[in-house]
Structure 1
Amino acid sequence: MELRHLRCFVVVAEELHFARAAARLHIEQSPLSRIIKDLEYRLGVQLFERTTRRTRLTWAGTVLLEEARRIFAVVEQAKASVKGAAAGYRGQLRVALSDGVPQARLAALLAQCREEDPDVEICLREVPSSVQIKGLQDDLFDVGLAQTAHRAKGLLALPVWHDPLVVVLPARHQLLAYREIPLDEIARHPLVLCEPQVCEGFWQQLQPVLKPIESKMNVAERVPTLDLMMALVAAGYGLGFSSRARIVELNNPDVVIRPLADNLTMLTTFLVRRDVESSEQLDRFVKRVMHAELDVVASPVTDAMTLSAAEARP
């Protein structure tokens, strides 16, 4: 079984459409079909169920997809390790990022790592929360940052960063009459919310807040990224939610943030690692993560920027 055959299989499994997969791989559909049939023959299993209307994975195909992604992650990390060694690094920390991390904190953390541990290469990967869990358990990552408190076997989750939850509104919106927005008022307006499967940790923390108005909510759009949520809110599609830190650092003049009335919810970022004795370089990394929280809390800039420039307009 060759890596190129596995790569073709992964693309077909992601697209579930041979023509689209062939276009992604820049090959003709006929040779792609032969590659998949050859792979099925070598493995002695059926990977796809194909009809005239659709293509879907068999259970064997689903298992192979997970294993193939793990194999490619190992290959990519091997490449990164070799390149790091050639560049003069003597150590490596493999960090998985999920659910979005405030850029200001991440930048401060990485700068401190470069200054204090210049021989240690920090390899960052942005992955879904479920991939982060599996990667930590399989020793593909050394540590993860996520808004999900992973309660998985063999993992420890340490709460490290805390940011207030805020409502995100268009710069010209009737709810700006409120300094703190009542939850009942939120239910009267369309919402732009994150995709639960993509922003798993954020959604887990937001759900309890919205529970009292769940039956009355009008969800206009579901989005996979904060950038898209900001664009849709600025365009007037609805109201959104985020941590204050992430909205402030984007500094979009077409949106304004407000706290929820009678709600002091703090969105928590967790540092996740295996429940084993850690290396000295990982211990130092954890301490720097904690200091990144203290530095932001102590900074007057965050508080000064919580209201956008739009609110200063007459």
Structure 2
Amino acid sequence: MELRHLRYFIAVAEELHFARAAERLHIEQSPLSRAIKDLEYDLSVQLFERTTRSTRLTWAGQVFLDEAKHVLSAVDQAKASVKAAANGYRGTLRIALSDGIYPLRLAALLAQCREDEPDVEIRLFEVPLAQQLKGLRGGLYDAGFAQAAEVGEDIVAQSVWSDPLMIAVPARHPLLAHKRIPLTELIRYPLVLCHPELCEGCYRQIERILRTVDVEPVVAEHAASFDLMMTLVAAGYGLSFASESHMMVCRHPEVVARPLAGQALLLTTYLLRPNAESSDPLNRFVGRLLEATASPTIIQ
């Protein structure tokens, strides 16, 4: 099995069309088909169900797609680490980011790390939470940031930042009559929520809040990014939830922030890392992070 076979397989699995995959890979369709047949022969499994009208992944193919991406990611990281060493770096930290982590705090942390240890390269990867957890368990990442604490016993989740949760309301909306918006009033209007897979940790925290009201929310749209979410709110698609920090940094002239009525609600960001002995660069990274936070809580 060669690495090119994995790249060919991923292209076909994502396109589900041999001609489009061949065009994407800049090769002819017949060598692509032969490579996939060779791969299936090597693995002794059928990866695709092919008819004259469609191409679909088998269950074995779906499982292999995850593993193939994992292998190529590990190879790419190995190449990057070698290049970093050749450029003078003495260590590398691979940090995964999920849920749209607050940019100013992260920027300040990275700037401090570069000042204190310029010979340690910090590489960042924006990935969904499920991919971050798999990467932490498989050694692809040294640590990560996400807004989820339910991550399994083999991962340590340590709260590092908490931001007041706000409601993003279109300008001139009737709910702006409230200085603090009751959840029972909010739930009467359509909502624009973060994407449940791309922003899984944040979505879980919002979902817990919505479950406290015995009314099924109407979700108008799911947004994959904060900018898109604010665009949809400004256009009147619905109301949304956002951290106070994000609202302050990414102001939109047609969106107004209001707190929820009752007890103040917080959106918490966690540092995630394997529940195992950490490297010296990671320990120093965590130390700098904790210097900027007060009384962190550890959840295992």
**Equivalent residue, structure 2, for 1:156:** 156
Q: What does residue range 101-140 of structure 1 map to in structure 2 within 5 Å?
A: 101-140=101-140
Classify the secondary structure of the residue corresponding to 1:241.
strand
Task: Please tell me the residue identity of whatever aligns with 1:285.
Answer: F
- Determine the structure 1 residue equivalent to 2:97: 97
Preserved contact between residue 92 and residue 121 of structure 1 (Cα < 8 Å) = yes
For 1:291 and 1:169, locate their aligned partners in 2 and report how far apart those are by CA, in whole Å.
35
Matched, 1:65 2:58: no
Q: CA deviation at 1:214?
A: 6.2
User: Which amino acid counterpart does residue 197 of structure 1 have in structure 2?
Assistant: E
Hey, what's the Cα distance between the residues in 2 that align with 1:257 and 1:123?
A: 33
Alignment partner of 2:272: what SS?
strand
Residue matched to 2:173 = 173
CA-CA distance at 1:119 after TM superposition = 0.9
Cα distance in 1 between the residues matched to 2:107 and 2:43: 45
- Residue 114 of structure 1: CA displacement? 0.4
More helix by share: 1
Task: Tell me if structure 2 keeps the 8 A contact 1:133–1:150.
Answer: no
Partner of 1:142: 142
Question: 1:68, 1:214 → 2: CA distance?
Answer: 44
Q: In percent, how many aligned pairs have the same letter?
A: 60
What is the CA RMSD across the aligned residues, in angstroms?
Answer: 1.8
Q: CA deviation at 1:53?
A: 4.9
Matching residue's letter, 1:77? Q
What is the Cα deviation at residue 10 of structure 1?
A: 1.2
Aligned to 1:196, the other structure's residue is in SS state: coil
Offset of residue 48 of structure 1? 1.0
Gaps of 5+ in 2: 295-300
Distance 1:25 1:174 in 2: 53
**Paired amino acid for 2:172:** R
Which amino acid in the other structure matches residue 221 of structure 2? E
Distance 1:214 1:120 in 2: 51
1:252 counterpart = 2:245: no
Contact persistence 1:169–1:240 (CA under 8 A): yes
Q: How far apart, in 1, do the equivalents of 2:258 and 2:52 lie?
A: 51
Alignment partner of 1:77 is 2:74: no
Shift in Å, 1:65: 1.1
Contact 2:229 2:240 in 1 (8 A): yes
Give how far 1:43 is off: 2.0
Q: Is the 8 A contact 1:105 1:292 kept in 2?
A: no
- Equivalents in 2 of 1:149, 1:101: separation in Å? 15
CA distance in 2, matches of 1:171, 1:26: 49
Distance 1:23 1:244 in 2: 45
The number of residue pairs the alignment matches comes to: 294
Q: What pairs up with 1:11-30 in 2 under 5 angstroms?
A: 11-30=11-30
* TM-score (norm: length of structure 1): 0.87
In the alignment, which residue of structure 2 is the partner of 1:241? Answer: 241
Aligned to 2:3: 3
Check the 8 A contact 1:167/1:260 in 2, yes or no: yes
Corresponding residue number in structure 1 for 2:265: 265
Residue range with higher mean Cα deviation, 159-168 or 43-52: 43-52
1:211-250 matched pairs, under 5 angstroms = 211-213=211-213, 215-250=215-250
CA distance in 2 between counterparts of 1:254 and 1:292 reads 33
What one-letter code is carried by the residue in structure 1 that aligns with 2:235?
Answer: A
Residues 233-288 of structure 1 deviation map (CA, whole Å, 9 limit, x = unaligned): 11111111111112221122221111111142211111111112222221221122
**Partner AA of 1:75 in structure 2:** V
**Aligned to 1:121, what secondary structure does the other structure show?**
strand
Q: Give the match's secondary structure for 1:100.
A: coil
- Residue 307 of structure 1 is matched in structure 2 by none
Deviation at 1:172, TM superposition (A): 2.7
Match of 2:285 in 1: 285
Query: 2:189 corresponds to which letter in structure 1?
Result: H
CA distance in 1, matches of 2:191, 2:214: 12
Distance 2:287 2:253 in 1: 35
Closer, same or farther in 2 for the Cα pair 1:214/1:241, shift >3 Å? farther
Aligned to 2:50: 50
Shift, 1:116, TM fit = 0.6
Distance in 1, Cα, partners of 2:39 & 2:28: 17
Q: Distance in 2 between matches of 1:242 and 1:256?
A: 11
